[in-house]
Structure 1
């Protein structure tokens, strides 16, 4: 779905990060991972964070050129927030060696919103830590003219890494990885935001 570009934030403004929670399954582990990551990001005064949970903002399952009124209302809860973001972090599990269908659906409903913006990934799963899902997502976002950053946060056998309150039992490694991801995401977000302010993408 294409819309008019959102206004570009001033150069001194914090980077606006949309954290997209990609799993919608009943009993999902995604909120635990998303809450942890969003809390880390909100500790920084150079970022603002908007968590877009696809389970709370479900989108129509079929992409059409003329969305129904119900589809338009569903998109109105998500599309402007994606457009306003300077950068994205996708929280994804690994289902059958790939990422969830609702996440692909949300990606496919949009186009201009992703263009010339960076995307980072936080993944979780079993032995692979969701990394196969991340590698499937990279070419998808490349097709949409987004820039995927190298640094990731991945939780291998994730269910045993968090305590009952949603905190990490051993936070040192994941927190270092989150810092590296956010630092790289911010660099790309600022560079691309400044570039879009000078010259609209694709012109």
Structure 2
């Protein structure tokens, strides 16, 4: 059996009472259908990160180690004021190298746009960080009405179809970029 690819699922919100908990619970259960990936759930609240950009802080190094181990990422992000959260921007900007040459997918949520405006801005950020963003995303509008506290989703059929399509693209890019990084390490190219 081939070794599973390592996929980090990253919370995009640290707000008290966040809906992100519900969405991540749903996603974690659904990702069990994709055994080609080994899942690592990363919640920024599980780290005592510094308030300033100090990448050598012990907690930042602990987070960096987890990010470096990932072959790809899924960001679960809300949309706040037509953008993504300050806490997510801080987490992304704290590091550069863990994102280089790796694929990034999005599960987003929010009001009428379902978080897609946040994703469009994140695509610009990750392009600058030499990452490849996956075209298809899974988006939820009005998630407070659609998810219960245990992350069970009402009428999940459409979301499951979108998740399957996104995961197929993520698998393709993850495999391709693992091979490319093993042939030629990306660190020298990103400089």
TM-score range relative to shorter protein: over 0.9
Match runs of 1:1-203 below 5 Å = 12-64=2-54, 67=56, 72-201=57-186, 202-203=188-189
Segments of 5+ residues of structure 1 without an aligned counterpart are 1-10
CA distance in 2, matches of 1:161, 1:80: 35
**Deviation per residue, 1:69-114 (Å, 9 max, x gap):** xxx2211331111000000000100111111111111101111110
Q: TM-score, normalised by structure 1?
A: 0.88
Checking the alignment, whether the CA contact within 8 Å between 2:76 and 2:107 is kept in structure 1 is: yes
CA-based RMSD of the aligned residues comes to 1.5
- Aligned residue number for residue 5 of structure 1: none
- The count of aligned residue pairs is 188
Checking the alignment, whether the CA contact within 8 Å between 2:136 and 2:165 is kept in structure 1 is: yes
Segments of 5+ residues of structure 2 without an aligned counterpart are none
CA distance in 2, matches of 1:105, 1:61: 9
CA distance in 1, matches of 2:93, 2:20: 21
